[in-house]
Amino acid sequence: MPQNNPDISAANTGSHAVAIWLFICAFMIFVMVVLGGVTRLTHSGLSMVEWKPATGFLPPMTELVWQDTFEKYQQYPEFKIKNPDMDLAGFKSIFWLEFIHRLWGRSIGIVFFVPFMFFLLRKKLDRKLIPKLITMFILGGLQGVLGWFMVKSGLSDRPDVSQYRLTAHLIFAFFLYGWILWTALGLLFPKPHTFKQQSLHAYRGFLSALTLLLVIAIMSGGFVAGTDAGFIYNTFPLMGDTLLPKDLFVFDPWIKNFFENVVTIQFTHRILTTLIFIAVVGFWFKTLKQDLPGRTRIVLHCLLVAVILQVTLGISTLLLVVPVPLAAAHQAGALILLTAMLWARHEFRA
């Protein structure tokens, strides 16, 4: 009888522990993205007009400090233009959301760094994995800098953050989430499947292209959020009473329409998400008759459910004119869909 190798068993246990840690980090980023969405939807993101990376983990502790913080907020356009009648109680209500958002970001850094050092010192990390993890940590810090860069754009004459910076901040978070998730999946499932039909490996290319299309759609969603494009044409499938609305390409140069024309931005987002929906449903039907491993089949079912859920949330958010709970759920749905798509792609890896 074959003997169990204690070294291999210990290595597998260590890899699983590292995978669980990375899944926790990915989940925390998931929560961070949703918190950021709620912060934006409730117009809370510009309530903290200072960035203190080292000391900003404590909120105002006395009424005097609260008043001083509020007075700093009053110096900026959001208060002067949008909230001139806001009192201290109203300010506190928007301050706490942004504070929790930033505090959660710091917590992610701690949850990532402390176990990393533990695993490193205990020699539980593969040598090839260490540079990746260090890069992830550095990029996480840069994401905080990018977040402040975004906030600063709303502390100028225009009391709204730049849609370009918002989208960059959003897509960077999705990138970090996806990279950490992919790494965790590789540790949890180190051996790729051996499919009976070699032609199934062609699905890798399709899922890679579909993942890229989803990333573009998420970027498009960032511009929808950054320009409030979801508050126009609150009908579906038509935009008003037509499929092709007027004012679709009125900006010059025409490429500018995709980033600053709210009509084009919403139209593009509709087209991209519809293409993704059709592609996922078609792919699911195509694989029904294939002889696939049980786990792969389950992941593909999850992908189908995720895309149906996301499209339903998106249409509902549009028709109901962007209620905060639905809009936040739609943002979470994008992460769920990305999770299912990356996992599906991982199932077909070489």
Q: Answer yes or no: pTM beyond 0.85.
A: yes
Closest CA to 200 of 306, 287, 109: 287
Q: Rg of the chain over CA atoms, in angstroms?
A: 23
Residue 195 has pLDDT above 80, yes or no: no
CB 57 within 8 A of CB 103: yes
pLDDT tens-digit series, residues 83-128: 999 999 999 999 999 999 999 999 999 999 999 999 999 999 999 9
In the chain, which ranges are continuous DSSP H helix?
6-41, 63-73, 77, 88-121, 129-153, 163-188, 203-227, 257-260, 262-287, 294-319, 324-347
| Angle (CA) 70 72 75, round 5° | 110
35 within 8 A of 173, measured Cβ to Cβ: no
Q: Which of 341, 220, 196 is nearest to 283 (CA)?
A: 341
pLDDT in tens, 20-76: 999 999 999 999 999 999 999 999 999 999 988 877 889 999 999 999 999 999 999
DSSP reduced 3-state for 197: coil
